Structure formats: structure tokens, C-alpha cells
Amino acid sequence: MTFEERLRAESLRLYDRYEREIVEGLSFCPYAASAREAGHVRVAAIVTEASPTEVAIGVEELAADPEVDIGILVLPLCTLDRRRFTRFVAEVRELVPARDAGSFAMAEFHPDPLADVQKPGDLTSFVRRSPDPTIQLVRMRALQQVRAKENHGSGYVDPSELALIERLSAAREPVRPPLHERIADMNRETIGRLGFDVVVARIEDIHRDREQTYRRLFAEHSFDRRADIG
């Protein structure tokens, strides 16, 4: 196998660990497993130091497949820190044309740890500690279906993205908190029940796997452009 083929395979394996052990395993998103099992999730890796334009092309390729409600783009060669990666994803978002209900909402995931998870919104960033910089793409129609079906939906949706639905429809005043708030509350309860240190340890185990795997892979292929893997 070439370096690119091995890197693609390993980055997808690592993301699969994160999805199954963290997102699904800890029930951080109650729709993750059902969406994957229904065949509406596609995970792809871009194994170049891609520009926003190149990543936008990858988004468009996923959008062209009507079966894809949830797209995951993993960027194993991206060395941007969390803040710069957020700006990078914003550039990608601007490059992708709107397609009404067929367009994607985008959310960035990043391996960098957080210094403090007590601030508002930091729990979401903590949950989003994927092995590699990653862009989650949720088709707007899937978000609308989740809002319509409430907790009987089947989309793999990040809790913060569910808030978009509150602005997409003139919903009647809910008799209980919005779905994205309920999911966030469930995540807090899960972390509280298991213990913050236990959840961090599970995430860090995947990140150690990533560091060891990439160091070995890059050394075997004399790939020295990314000296700092951790």
C-alpha cells in the first residue's frame, strides 16, 4: 500500500473508534448508531494538506449523493490548532453554495484539549475531541426531520447544530426544553455519572493510538513534514 492509502485507512479506523467508543458508546448523540446502520452516513479522509477550496470540493462530492445525510471529512494532515481550524471551516462554509434543504450544516471537531470545560459551550467542544481535525456535515433536510420527529428521529446530529432548527421553522412553543438542550443535559449527566477523568481517559486512549500509529507510519515512509503528531 502507498503512504496515502495507509494513512487513509488508519485515519478512518481511528475515527471509527471515536464514533463507536465515544459518540455512540457514551450515548453523546442518541441518533449516531441508527443513522450509521441505516446507511446514511459517509466517512471520508482527505490525505493531502488540503486548502479550503479542495475541502469544499469534497463537501460537494458528498452533497451529490442523495443517500448521504451525514458526511464526515477527516483531515489527518491538517496541523492547524483548534482556533485556526475553526476559521478554516468557516472559509469552507463560504465556498460551498447553498442548496436549500439539500445543503449541509457544518461543525468542526478537533483533537486539541480544552483548558477549561466549565465555560458555556465548552462541553460541546469537549465531546468533539476527534482523533484528527474533522468536519461534520449534516444535511439540512435531516435537521428538519429531527426537529419534526423530536426524539424519534434518526439523524447523527451534533447537539449544537440542532439549535439551527429553532430558526428554520416557526415552531409552537415547546412543552419541554428544545431537543439540543435535552441532549446537552444528557451528556452532562453521562459525564457526571462516569466521572470526567474516566471520559477523558477513553478519549486520550484513542489519541495515543493515533500518535503511535502515525509516528510509525510516517517513519516507515520517511514522511517528515509533520514532525509533531501529538
Give the per-residue pLDDT at 215. 94
Give pLDDT, residue 66: 84
Query: Which whole-number Å values give the CA distances from 53 to 56, 88, 104, 150, 164, in the listed order?
Result: 5, 10, 16, 35, 25
The pLDDT value given to residue 68: 87
- pLDDT for the residue numbered 155: 39
Residue type, 180: H
Please list, in sequence order, all residues whose beta carbon lies within 8 angstroms of the beta carbon of residue 42, skipping any fewer than 6 positions away.
62, 65, 68, 70, 71, 72
pLDDT in tens, 23-63: 887 777 766 777 788 888 999 999 998 899 999 999 888 88
* Beta carbons of 128 and 157 less than 8 angstroms apart: no
pLDDT in tens, 79-94: 999 999 999 999 999 8
Closest alpha carbon to 10 in 76, 100, 67: 76
The pLDDT score that the predictor gives to residue 124 is 72
Q: Please report the pLDDT score of residue 165 as a whole number.
A: 47
| Residue 102: per-residue pLDDT | 56
- Where the chain has pLDDT below 50, the residues are 101, 151-157, 165, 167-173, 179, 225-230
- Residue 111, pLDDT score: 95
| Predicted TM-score (pTM) of this structure | 0.76
